[in-house]
Amino acid sequence: MNKYDIVRKIEEFAPPETQENWDCSGWAVLANQNDEVNRILFALTVTEKVIQQARENNCDMIISHHPLFSVPLEWKDINIYCAHTNLDKAEGGTTDRLIKELGFTKTESYEFVRIVRPDKPITVADLRQKLLKISPRLRYINNYNVEQIKSIGFCAGSGSEFINECDTDAFVTGDLKFHTALDSKQVVFDIGHFESEIFAPQILKDITNVGEKGFIADEKSPFI
């Protein structure tokens, strides 16, 4: 497999120029002059455990969602490519897959945010039950004792900054900040950063269509 051809598929799906200006999507490591790779490990985050899994499975390339802002010297023998905020923004990307897995259909897009307007209102309790299937440890706030939800904003990853820009009854994201929760007029569900983006490795594998030569990393949330 040509590593540049593989990356080209990702960049056609999630153009790198759409990433945020603080992001580090793209090549993190070009390990050698060889264009060919034999096996690829797809991961949410490149960690020492993920590097070890790559070596155990004889993978000479890792494709991850989260970017690397620095790379340890001992990792520089493996090709590493990352697609982060550009994958978040892409049609069919991280937030869209989260919505699909929950059985909803997106109706609107706004920057990173996707908006769902169910055919009929859903109760807070019913939405919580749906989310528990993905995130058993979710937490939520309902400062105004809302019972019926007609519209839901979704942002996989850390989407607290978009909550007040989205005029919906409820908002689903990861990494909810304390003061944001305290002041929110919406029902806000924090399903966890890891849980909200756990489908990213499979998305990347699907895009590249590498079949049996691609492996999904075994990763767990750092929170117990």
Residue 164 has a pLDDT of 84
pLDDT, tens only, 140-161 = 999 999 999 999 999 999 999 8
Residues 6 or more apart in contact with residue 2 via CB below 8 angstroms: 35, 36, 37
Q: Predicted confidence band at 32 (pLDDT cuts at 50, 70, 90)?
A: confident
Q: Predicted confidence band at 110 (pLDDT cuts at 50, 70, 90)?
A: confident
Say which CATH topology domain 3-84+198-216 has: 3.40.1390
Query: Exposure pattern of 24-41 as b/e (b: 16+ CB <10 Å)?
Result: bbeebbeeeeeeebebbb
**Arch. (CATH architecture) of 94-197:** 3-Layer(aba) Sandwich (3.40)
Beta bridge partners of 188: 141, 171
pLDDT, tens only, 13-28 = 999 999 999 999 999 9
What residue ranges do the domains of the chain occupy?
3-84+198-216, 94-197
Q: Residue 137 corresponds to which amino acid?
A: R
- DSSP helix/strand/coil, 63: strand
Residue 203 has a pLDDT of 98
Give kind and range of the element (H or E) at residue 127: helix 124-132
- DSSP helix/strand/coil, 1: coil
Q: Do domains 3-84+198-216 and 94-197 have the same CATH topology?
A: yes
Q: Which tokens hold the place of 6?
A: 């593989």
- Contacts of 194-197 with C-beta under 8 Å, sequence gap 24+, read 194/44, 194/219, 194/220, 194/221, 194/222, 194/223, 195/134, 195/135, 195/138, 195/221, 196/94, 196/98, 196/135, 196/156, 196/157, 196/172, 197/44, 197/65, 197/94, 197/98, 197/156, 197/157
Q: Residue 12 corresponds to which amino acid?
A: E
Beta bridge partners of 153: 115, 171
